[in-house]
Amino acid sequence: MTRIDTKRRGQIQQAPENFLTQDAIADLNKNGMDDTRRGFMRNGFMAALGGAVGLGASMNALASSEGDPAILEKQVWQTTLGKNVATMPYGTPSIYEANLIRRESPGLTRVSAASVAFTPLQGLFGIITPNGLHFERQHQGWYNIDPEMHRLMVNGLVKHNRVFTMNDLMRLPSVSRIHFIECGANTGLEWGNVAVPTVQYTHGMLSCCEFTGVPLSVLLEECSADLKKGKYLLAEGGDGSGMTRTVNLDDVLNDAIVAWGMNGEMLRPENGFPLRLVVPGVQGVSWVKWLRRLEVGDMPYATKDEAVHYNDLMPDGLARQYTSIQECKSVITTPSGGQQLLDKGFYNVSGLAWSGRGKVKRVDVSFDGGNNWKTARLETPVLTKALTRFNIDWVWDGSPAILQSRAIDETGYVQPPIKLLRDARGTRSIYHNNAIQSWKVDSNGEVSNVQVG
């Protein structure tokens, strides 16, 4: 038996040229078509199509006339004893997944304690981001805060200034909800032109988790907050930056959560262990980590990250302040920039859609740079202010193509092309770029980041 190069496992060695054997052809000529043969022919047709447009990749090719050594040869994992339970008491992904990790974008910042690590969206499925791959944005480094030493204070326009320990908070009635979190600066590098190669760097300041915690409204009610006068909430972190953001209580009182849980376990330290604010639909900077204080107030606070950063500069020199909502947006994650298709034929084109204003209603996909569109399948669940997975069939004929996705949310808002956004906001606003993303597929199979129009 020929040994197969381990790099080529499961791959076709050569396209099957005579997909119908001489015997089968003779059989058909003699006996005509019946159901069995029709099934056989259908398979044969697929193979023929493979021969014509290079579908071979999806077929199991044979290295020799006998068959595939992956089947014919006994593999080590079939013939030896495997590892014990709890060999890895906290499990980690397969070693074959080592490439899918959070990464920094070189040159984006100069100090890694005030920087970003992007989620590898190009390799993820469904809508939930694994905890170890949730994107990171740190302003002054992260800590493992001792949960026994962590306190949450609620003060300001409340009858009672209160202090809660983690023990207190985790006794309160909790909810678990799935929401996306997106940094306001996600895709911010692309306002002027294409700047980065892959979806990890164009859209990777995006994650989605099931968060568990006590509704903000329950806590504020418990402290007898004056919500008539107090329309604003200052959320403050317990880290060195004492990160502060103003939250619009009118907007988020019904869905904000003071959360400790993330996908079934406690928050990861990089993501605010043991407590963070979850503000569905609002940009990530407001989801204050290591949350230590909530102050109810009657005016916005103009904190550093509301007065110097996270403002959207318009062409007339005015900056839009307190821009918070993440508008409807989508992106195709496979195939996406930097990927290499090996062959023509069938692909499941897949991506993510989301809206800070509610549920995703529809996603359309174009294969010709936005001239014609087809509606994609939305996979369940479709939840409010959560990532929604979409899929659409594609048979690639090998000619250059430009793939785009366009999401529409339940308010009827349609994700815009970059030109429309630039016409309204110029190219220097950094934040809230929710433009349609284009991926060009070249005839050599390489996928690259392009902007159309």
CB of 443 to another protein, least distance (A): 7
- By CB under 8 A, residue 62 contacts another protein: no
- By CB under 8 A, residue 391 contacts another protein: no
Interface mask (CB under 8 A) for another protein, residues 271-290, using x and -?
Answer: ----------x---------
Host H or E run for residue 418: helix 418-425
Compute the distance between CA of residue 268 and CA of residue 377 in angstroms, rounded to an integer. Answer: 33
Stretch of residues binding another protein (CB under 8 A), selected from 18-26, 27-35, 69-77, 234-242 = 234-242
- By CB under 8 A, residue 356 contacts another protein: yes
- By CB under 8 A, residue 3 contacts another protein: no
Interface mask (CB under 8 A) for another protein, residues 123-142, using x and -?
Answer: x----------------xx-
- By CB under 8 A, residue 341 contacts another protein: yes
- By CB under 8 A, residue 46 contacts another protein: no
Buried/exposed code over 139-165 (b: 16+ C-beta within 10 A; e: otherwise): beebeebeeeebebbbbbbbeeebebe
User: What is the Cα gyration radius of the chain?
Assistant: 26
- CA 420-439-101 angle, 5° bins: 115
CB of 79 to another protein, least distance (A): 22
Buried/exposed code over 417-452 (b: 16+ C-beta within 10 A; e: otherwise): bbeebbeebeeebbbbbbbbbbbbbeeebebbbebb
- By CB under 8 A, residue 93 contacts another protein: no
- By CB under 8 A, residue 268 contacts another protein: no
In this structure, are residues 51 and 20 in contact, taking their beta carbons and an 8 Å threshold? Answer: no
- By CB under 8 A, residue 106 contacts another protein: yes
Number of residues that bind another protein (CB under 8 A): 147
Q: In this chain, which of 52, 113, 149, 395 binds another protein, going by CB under 8 A?
A: 113
In this structure, are residues 433 and 419 in contact, taking their beta carbons and an 8 Å threshold? Answer: no
- By CB under 8 A, residue 4 contacts another protein: no
In this structure, are residues 282 and 250 in contact, taking their beta carbons and an 8 Å threshold? Answer: no
Q: Pick out residues in 63-92 that bind another protein (CB under 8 A).
A: none
- By CB under 8 A, residue 265 contacts another protein: no
Q: In this chain, which of 344, 354, 367, 403 binds another protein, going by CB under 8 A?
A: 344
User: Which residues make beta-bridge pairs with 265?
Assistant: 262
- By CB under 8 A, residue 413 contacts another protein: yes
Q: In this chain, which of 121, 291, 392, 421 binds another protein, going by CB under 8 A?
A: 421
Residue 366: phi, psi to the nearest 5? -115, 145
User: Which residues make beta-bridge pairs with 344?
Assistant: none
Give one word for 54, left, alpha or beta, with left for phi > 0 and alpha for psi -120 to 50: left
Stretch of residues binding another protein (CB under 8 A), selected from 19-27, 69-77, 129-137, 445-453 = 445-453
